Amino acid sequence: MIKVIIHGFNGKMGKVLQNIISDDPTMEIVAGIDPIDRESEFCPVYKSFSDCPIKADVIIDFSHFSAIPALIEHAVNTKTPAVICTTGLTEDVLNLIRDSSKSVALFRSSNMSLGINVLKKALEVVVGPLESNFNIEIIEKHHNKKVDSPSGTALLLADAINDSCKVKKDYIYGRHSKNDECKITDLGIHAVRGGTIPGEHIVIFAGPDEIIELKHTALSRNIFANGAVEAAKFLSKQKTGLYDMSHLFD
């Protein structure tokens, strides 16, 4: 039985995780961490890691970017592997994750969906034959509560494209007030926010007289929770190091 602490327990994703893990006979929620310490039928809930005396095999994090340093500190001090699903992380926090992975197993992805990560791998194959003649644009859509823009997933896909290009792209975030020529070396990234859209990402390859679109639509938050659970099962067996979704495909 894999013992799990959920960081961001009372958030939207935390609640989805509670239901999915409670139906998994191989996993058990032993504690929740959340500033809002509501009682739970599943486990005790603590306001912070410093209040939590309970040991676990792995932490699954869907919290707020400001809470990640405390999570990393706890993971390192207790040698507890952690799956970090929170987005909008600063470069300082990303460096902290990289440095801390030398002491404890950490897993980070900008998107925990299996489909998005398959799309990422597909882009790595598609880009090569198209990059010299096709303009590339990314449009991402999310609900009106999402605070970071563009999404971490849009940047994940953009980086996958750029890493596969012989001539690197310049990221263009929207085009308001821009009078510049649309260059083949530009990669446009555009954000839409509204309603309750769980997440949609469209990669457009626009060439002479033809267009290719690759699209992923999230129909519910379950896909992210399912990916996080699979990552937690994987990570609970790993030694120190930094892992991502590509390791689940090996």
What's the half-sphere exposure (Cβ side, CA atoms, 13 Å) at 219? Answer: 1
Q: What residues contact 11, with CB distance under 8 A and at least 6 apart?
A: 34, 62, 63
Is 233 labeled as catalytic in the residue annotation? no
Q: Dihedrals φ, ψ of 229, to 5°?
A: -65, -45
Decide if 56 contacts 31 (C-beta within 8 A).
yes
User: Which is the catalytic residue, given 3, 15, 64, 146?
Assistant: 146
User: Which is the catalytic residue, given 120, 141, 142, 233?
Assistant: 142
Is 216 labeled as catalytic in the residue annotation? no
Q: Supply the residues annotated as catalytic.
A: 142, 146
